[in-house]
């Protein structure tokens, strides 16, 4: 039996001013779920928004308090970041990825969203005629929304049928016209939780060099491939990265998930040394500066967006990065709760007739972590999203992420122990009704 009637869900849609539930954004689904909870007092199983569900790292909180007590709040921070954070970021990348990046190229941003916004601007303006972005989907919908704001065109393809050896031919096809300025993906992937394997990253890197495209590698879910023993500083295995295979890369690192520091909006955009110092005449002409990629990105683009990042939070992030390198903070163990939640939630869904849509990487089953994907019979993603709302479960359709597969994305971050029996009961009813 349904938890919410069709009429009530339709009321929530109208009041929340959502045009089409099947194509609703994360924010729109959130509004619908909140309306239904307020109207009825019945709790939702919230699988929509990927907001951290763990306490903020206490070392960061204390370091930020101490920075404010020292008076850093009275002064503007440097545009390219406080030296302590830049040094800590460079060391962190070496410790966990085994890549050398000069501290100059480690630039704080107000979350990875700001980092990608500035990075996409710089990438698409550096060479005339090379002005499109290629998304290896499924992916984070906001990055395409950023391109809408900027008036930048993009191409996209769903990687589902192109894993392993099939990736090279597909990328060659997309890059052959020579108009791709940047290649964007997340690893681990939001929403599918697939992980690109080393051979695939090598293909991406080699073709990025061949076609002079810059790879924006979003590492928001850093070390969260829990199938591997990642997260031991200065010890293999290291985090896989395209940076081993090309000089044309920008790494996006975030404090939001690994340190549960999302509310302070702090991330890093780490530009490879070669790219950071590369000169582009088109940037000189546009910005009337030296046209060097890194300084232009920092001073002429990112600074225009946020005028730097909150000083106290920079010191907090620096402290957490340093302690991670020193082995004091084991952030991988701190966030492993997401793996446990995913395993329990997927088990409940699969026992009640659902299936995992993106279920494999090239050589092994997909892991458990922050996100997972679900399908049900022959329901489309939009139909499944709507049906789940009737049973008090909120999620987003895979179609909004660039996926061509039918299903929805679920997030583990807001799951609580007392909700597992509720989820079990509701999905049992879902199975009986379908």
3-state helix, strand, coil in the chain (%, to 5): 50, 15, 40
Residue 26: predicted pLDDT: 86
Match 């549960």 to its residue by tokens: 260
Residue listed under structure tokens 């079990």: 424
Q: Is the peptide bond before 188 cis (omega within 30 degrees of 0)?
A: yes
What does the alpha-carbon distance between residue 159 and residue 269 come to, in Å, rounded to a whole number?
25
- As a whole number of angstroms, the distance between CA 390 and CA 385 comes to 9
- Span 58-325: which CATH code? 3.40.640.10
The CATH code belonging to domain 6-54+334-433 is: 3.90.1150.100
Q: Is residue 271 within 8 Å of 105, Cβ to Cβ?
A: yes
So what's the pLDDT on residue 304?
Answer: 95
DSSP 191: T
Q: What is the pLDDT of residue 76?
A: 93
> What distances in angstroms separate CA 23 from CA 27, 29, 319, one per listed residue?
12, 10, 41
CA 374 – CA 340 distance, rounded (Å): 17
Q: Which pLDDT tens digits describe the chain residue by residue (434 residues)?
A: 899 899 999 998 999 998 888 888 888 999 999 999 999 999 999 998 888 989 999 999 999 999 999 999 999 999 999 999 999 999 999 999 999 999 999 999 999 999 999 999 999 999 999 999 999 999 999 999 999 999 999 999 999 999 998 999 999 999 999 999 999 999 999 999 999 999 999 999 999 999 999 999 999 999 999 999 999 999 999 999 999 999 999 999 999 999 999 999 999 999 999 999 999 999 999 999 999 999 999 999 999 999 999 999 999 999 999 999 999 999 999 999 999 999 999 999 999 999 999 999 999 999 999 999 999 999 999 999 999 999 999 999 999 999 999 999 999 999 999 999 999 999 999 999 99
> Got the DSSP string for 226-280?
TTS----TT-SSPPP-GGGT-S-EEEEEESTTTS--GGG--EEEEE-HHHHT-B-
Gyration radius (Cα) of the chain, Å:
22
Terminal C-alpha separation, the chain: 10
Domain ranges of the chain: 6-54+334-433, 58-325
What CA–CA distance (Å, rounded) separates 67 from 61? 10
């Amino acid at each position: 039996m349904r938890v919410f009637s069709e009429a009530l869900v339709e009321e929530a849609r109208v009041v929340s001013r959502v045009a089409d539930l099947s194509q609703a954004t994360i924010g729109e689904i959130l509004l619908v779920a909140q309306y239904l909870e307020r109207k009825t007092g019945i709790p939702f199983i919230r699988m929509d928004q990927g907001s951290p569900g763990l306490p903020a790292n206490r070392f960061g909180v204390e370091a930020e308090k101490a920075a404010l007590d020292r008076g850093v709040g009275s002064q503007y921070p440097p545009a390219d970041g406080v030296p302590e954070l830049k040094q800590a970021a460079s060391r962190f990348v070496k410790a966990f990825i085994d890549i050398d990046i000069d501290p100059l190229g480690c630039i704080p941003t107000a979350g990875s969203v700001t980092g990608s916004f500035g990075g996409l601007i710089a990438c698409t303006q550096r060479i005339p005629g090379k002005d499109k972005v290629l998304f290896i989907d499924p992916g984070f919908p906001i990055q395409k929304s950023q391109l809408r704001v900027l008036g930048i065109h993009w191409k996209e393809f769903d990687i589902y049928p192109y894993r392993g050896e099939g990736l090279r031919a597909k990328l060659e096809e997309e890059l052959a016209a020579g108009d791709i300025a940047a290649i964007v993906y997340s690893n681990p992937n939001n929403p599918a939780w697939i992980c690109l394997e080393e051979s695939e990253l090598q293909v991406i890197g080699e073709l990025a060099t061949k076609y002079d495209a810059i790879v924006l590698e979003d590492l928001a879910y850093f070390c969260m491939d829990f199938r591997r023993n990642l997260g031991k500083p200065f010890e293999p295995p290291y985090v896989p990265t395209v940076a081993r295979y090309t000089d044309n890369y920008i790494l996006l690192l975030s404090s939001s998930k690994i340190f549960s520091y999302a509310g302070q909006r702090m991330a890093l955009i780490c530009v490879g040394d070669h790219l950071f110092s590369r000169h582009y005449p088109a940037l000189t002409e546009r910005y009337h500066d030296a046209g060097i990629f890194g300084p232009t990105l920092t001073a002429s683009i990112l600074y225009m967006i946020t005028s730097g990042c909150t000083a106290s939070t920079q010191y907090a992030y620096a402290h957490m990065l340093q302690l991670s390198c020193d082995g004091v903070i084991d952030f991988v163990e701190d966030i492993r709760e997401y793996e446990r939640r995913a395993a329990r939630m997927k088990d409940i869904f699969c026992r009640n007739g659902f299936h995992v849509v993106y279920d494999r990487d090239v050589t092994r089953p997909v892991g458990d972590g922050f996100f997972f994907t679900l399908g049900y019979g022959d329901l489309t993603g939009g139909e499944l999203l709507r049906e789940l709302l009737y049973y008090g479960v909120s999620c987003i359709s895979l179609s909004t992420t660039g996926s061509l597969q039918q299903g929805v994305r679920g997030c583990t971050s807001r799951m609580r122990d007392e909700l597992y029996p509720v989820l079990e009961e509701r999905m049992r009813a879902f199975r009986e009704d379908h």
